[in-house]
A and B are shown apart, each in its own frame.
Chain A
Amino acid sequence: MGNNASFKLYYFGFRFRGEVIRLVFTAAGKEFEDVRIDPSQWPQLKNQAPFGTLPYLEVTSGSQKLVLTQSTSIARYLAKKFKLAGRNDEEAAIVDMYADQVSDVLAEFAKTARESDANKKKEIEQKIENEIMPKNLKLFEARIAESRSGYLVPSGLTWADLYLFNLLEMLGEKRVMVLEAFPNLKGLDQKIRNNPRMAAYLAKRPITPF
């Protein structure tokens, strides 16, 4: 596909699994149509999605059209196109590994959203807060320290940093306090927030609960 491809992203109005894709476009300074679907309209639109799930991305270049689903696959494809995927195969694999790790944690958050039993929901929430998040924050903190670039990998900003940034946002109001204990994560969070394109995007995007 040529460099003049046009992009149309379909997702709900909140951040959760679609946001990393929006962040990749933003960091790369690439235009895209950000279609935000109202959950109430979703049942009618479900048939158009390749696997009946959101997000999905339509890429059009001349007469060629590609439809992709699965948020991490979409993010990875775009990151490769926009040089936000790491410097070589090995670094790209490390980036993928970190992204998979973030994805696993997001899956835990998804579990709480789907859980109807109040006690079980509380159990999962506690597990995330007391076990899963701390373990992963420590891990990523150490990796940023190791890379020496201030980002997850030596060569600089990649989509895994944006995905991690997205995960940190899931901490909500607790984020600032939690990050005090993790100077490298705090630094990464700040760097991304202060990036001019990102700052502009963050200032104008819709405020959503997650």
Chain B
Amino acid sequence: MAEYKLYYFNAKARAEIIRLIFAAAGQKYEDIRFEREQWPEYKQKAPLGQAPFLEVELNGNTFKLGQSVTIARYVARKFNLAGKGDEEQAEVEMYGDQVSDLLNELVKVHFEKDETRQNELRKKFHEEILPNTLKTLDGKIAHNGSGYLVASGLTWADLFLVNILEWLGDKKEAALANFSNLKSLDEKVRSHPRIAEWLEKRPKTEM
């Protein structure tokens, strides 16, 4: 039996997809959250000097993993949330990468210091980048008949999508207005018992 320890700041941000996967799978793990001042100490332990990172105790060995999307992919596979078969798994990863790109665009907007540029980037994100991706994803859900991104059912790509929709905050409703399949998926995932439980009890943080 493997034991899992997730290390991150006290925030949702880049670790939340991993926590959602653990929740959906009903898998216990240690959700370690450190303060900013403690980071230098934890940085030493992190495989690439970055957070989040995961420690897995497996057969008496400790295995460490960095890069949030790699961690998500790894644990999703272990818990059968990665899709069925190589081809479907590749599709799931493709959607996961697509959502990851959206996340990176949002982060870019957030960290832009020049106000004019920030407004420009924000506008481009909400009027172009986001709708284009959501439109394609909405179409994919409609196409495969499961109500999820791939035919076999819930995967980590669905969880990642729901995660990024959360990042939109009060803009989420407007963003989903024309995408009924995405809206249904979001509702379905959020009301899944284990996920609903996690959303209810997780620490409330701004980011």
- Which residue numbers of A lie inside 8 Å of B, CB to CB? 1, 50-52, 59, 64, 66, 68-70, 72-74, 76-77, 80-81, 89-90, 93-94, 96-97, 99-101, 107, 139
Contact = CB atoms under 8 A, between A and B. Distances in A.
B86 A80 contact: yes
Chief secondary structure at chain B's binding surface? helix
A77 B90 contact: yes
Contacts of A1: 86-87
A97 B48 contact: yes
A23 to B, nearest CB: 18
Contact of A96 (B48, B74, B91, B136): B74
Given A50-B136, A89-B77, A96-B70, A101 B90 contact: no
Contacts, number: 74
Report, as a range, how many residues of chain B touch the other chain.
Answer: 20 to 34
Nearest to B54: A93
Contacts of B104: 107
B44 to A, nearest CB: 14
Contact of B70 (A59, A73, A100): A100
B166 to A, nearest CB: 22
Given A1-B86, A52-B132, A90-B58, A73 B74 contact: no
Interface string B5-25: 000000000000000000000
A41 B73 CA distance: 35
A68 B95 CA distance: 10
Most chain B CB atoms below 10 A, which of A51, A59, A89, A94: A51
Nearest to B73: A96
A72 B136 CA distance: 19
A100 B69 contact: yes
B131 interface: no
Contact of B93 (A70, A81, A107): A70
B77 A73 contact: no
Given A69-B98, A72-B97, 4 more contacts: A51-B133, A68-B94, A77-B90, A90-B56
B93 A77 contact: yes
Contacts of B94: 50, 68-70, 73-74
Contacts of A52: 132, 136
Given A66-B87, A68-B91, A70-B98, A94 B78 contact: no
